Amino acid sequence: MPVPNFFIIGAQKCGTDALYYVLKHHPDIFMSPEKEPSFFMMEGVLPGFRHPSPGYTRRLVAEWDRYLDLFMDAGAKRAIGEASAIYLSSYYPERTAARIRERISHAKIIALLRQPADRAYSAFQFYHAREIEPIADFAQALAAELGRFDSESPDIRHRSNGYYYANLKPHYDCFPSEQIRVYLHEEWNSNPGSVLREIFRFLEIGESVRVVVERRNVTTRYKSKRVRRLLINPNRAERWIKRLLPGWLLQQLRDWNELAPPPFPNDLRRELTEGYRDDILKLQELIGKDLSRWMVDSATPSSVGAGEVQP
């Protein structure tokens, strides 16, 4: 039975969805058909796991045999992988890393990281728009975080999930550094072809494959939550309405309903970044990359541009 030999472990809101879909279309790669199975976090945890989105919970996998079923069609593919961004969260990273090593010690680990304050704000806006984060004000959500730590979804650990050194170090403790690659969100944004070429080389597969990079899971807010529910998860009556609408009209409805999130307040970004300073300094030593740009006042670009690239 095929088993995965590489993992995209996160982080959330750093471009992992776009990377997953690019790799899924490489002829030498088989990606789990279900993104975010989260098995190595969910084993033994799922019965009591809390998440406000039923769709999210349904795709989680907690049994080894069921997890292996995700890869049964991998055939002779040289690289077999999955992408569970929550592996690089503050939700027991030591346990997750140790479980991956125990089952698949030869696994290769890939992480995408983004300036942590920008990541936290993007995650807050994303999850609030999708009714997973109930608090409407980012500063209030940050202030309430510790009190909600063990009782609510790990997706709303906005501040804690940005301590990349603390969350990544367990993976370095469990795996040789040559089995880990870390890329920065700004590298992925500015030159996805170069990043993909490095990843293909790391996975020991064909490098000169033309691929299409698409923007995925972009952070937006919505004019109408009712319209979003109709488009995403309609009830029985609304399903009939949706079937009668032509595809172009549904797309226009999506476009009309989506809004860019409000700008990140500079003072809050500065305060949050300062709180990450020690973690950033440790992280740059761990991964061997200069992260000084993460400690400046301006925000980094948020999404990789769509288009065809030749690695």
Which tens digits make up the pLDDT trace of 8-24?
A: 999 999 999 999 999 99
Q: What residue numbers bound the domain in which 255 lies?
A: 221-259
Say which residues have a Cβ less than 8 Å from residue 265's Cβ, sequence separation at least 6.
none
Question: Does one domain contain both 59 and 91?
Answer: yes
The per-residue pLDDT for 308 is 53
Q: Binning pLDDT at 50, 70 and 90, where does residue 256 land?
A: low
Q: Quick check: 175 pLDDT over 80?
A: yes
What CATH number has the domain bearing residue 203?
3.40.50.300
Q: Are 203 and 31 in contact (CB under 8 A)?
A: no
The per-residue pLDDT for 149 is 75
Identify the residue with better confidence: 149 or 106. 106
pLDDT in tens, 186-214: 999 888 989 999 999 999 998 877 766 66
Q: Quick check: 218 pLDDT over 90?
A: no
Q: Which two tokens stand for residue 267?
A: 């003072």
The per-residue pLDDT for 155 is 84
3-state secondary structure the chain: CCCCCEEEEECCCCCHHHHHHHHHCCCCEEECCCCCCCHHHHCCCHHHCCCCCHHHHHCCCCCHHHHHHCCCCCCCCCEEEEECHHHHCCCCHHHHHHHHHHHCCCCEEEEEECCHHHHHHHHHHHHHHCCCCCCCCHHHHHHHHHHHCCCCCHHHCCCHHHCHHHHHHHHHHHCCHHHEEEEEHHHHHHCHHHHHHHHHHHCCCCCCCCEEECCCCCCCEECCHHHHHHHHCCCHHHHHHHHHCCHHHHHHHHHHHEECCCCCCHHHHHHHHHHHHHHHHHHHHHHCCCCHHHHCCCCCCCCCCCEEECC
Q: Binning pLDDT at 50, 70 and 90, where does residue 261 land?
A: confident
The per-residue pLDDT for 310 is 53
Q: Quick check: 173 pLDDT over 60?
A: yes
Question: Does one domain contain both 191 and 252?
Answer: no
Q: Which two tokens stand for residue 232?
A: 């995403």
Question: Does one domain contain both 173 and 249?
Answer: no
Q: Quick check: 290 pLDDT over 70?
A: yes
Q: Binning pLDDT at 50, 70 and 90, where does residue 300 land?
A: low
- Between CA 50 and CA 91 the distance in angstroms is 12
pLDDT in tens, 39-90: 998 887 765 566 656 566 777 898 999 999 999 999 999 999 999 999 999 8
In a domain, 152, yes or no: no
Identify the residue with better confidence: 85 or 301. 85
Question: Does one domain contain both 96 and 168?
Answer: yes
Question: Poorest-confidence range of 111-125, 188-202, 223-237, 295-309?
Answer: 295-309
In a domain, 147, yes or no: no
Question: Does one domain contain both 110 and 236?
Answer: no
The per-residue pLDDT for 150 is 72
* Number of domains present in the structure of the chain: 2
Identify the residue with better confidence: 310 or 156. 156
Question: Does one domain contain both 178 and 238?
Answer: no
In a domain, 132, yes or no: no
Question: Does one domain contain both 246 and 174?
Answer: no
- Between CA 255 and CA 248 the distance in angstroms is 11
Peptide bond into 299 cis (omega under 30): no
Q: What percent of the chain has pLDDT over 70?
A: 77
Residue type, 298: S
> Average pLDDT for residues 161-184, to the nearest whole number?
98
Q: Are 87 and 38 in contact (CB under 8 A)?
A: yes
Question: Does one domain contain both 59 and 184?
Answer: yes
In a domain, 271, yes or no: yes
In a domain, 303, yes or no: yes
Question: Does one domain contain both 177 and 254?
Answer: no
> Average pLDDT for residues 91-120, to the nearest whole number?
96
In a domain, 244, yes or no: yes
Question: Does one domain contain both 237 and 176?
Answer: no
Nearest Cα neighbor of 283 from 118, 158, 171, 155 is 171
Q: Are 181 and 202 in contact (CB under 8 A)?
A: yes
In a domain, 51, yes or no: yes
The per-residue pLDDT for 177 is 97
The per-residue pLDDT for 19 is 94
In a domain, 130, yes or no: no
Q: Binning pLDDT at 50, 70 and 90, where does residue 34 land?
A: confident
Question: Does one domain contain both 210 and 164?
Answer: yes
Q: Are 56 and 124 in contact (CB under 8 A)?
A: no
Identify the residue with better confidence: 35 or 252. 35
Q: What percent of the chain has pLDDT over 90?
A: 61
The three-state secondary structure class of 220 is coil
Question: Does one domain contain both 28 and 60?
Answer: yes
The per-residue pLDDT for 236 is 59
The per-residue pLDDT for 260 is 75
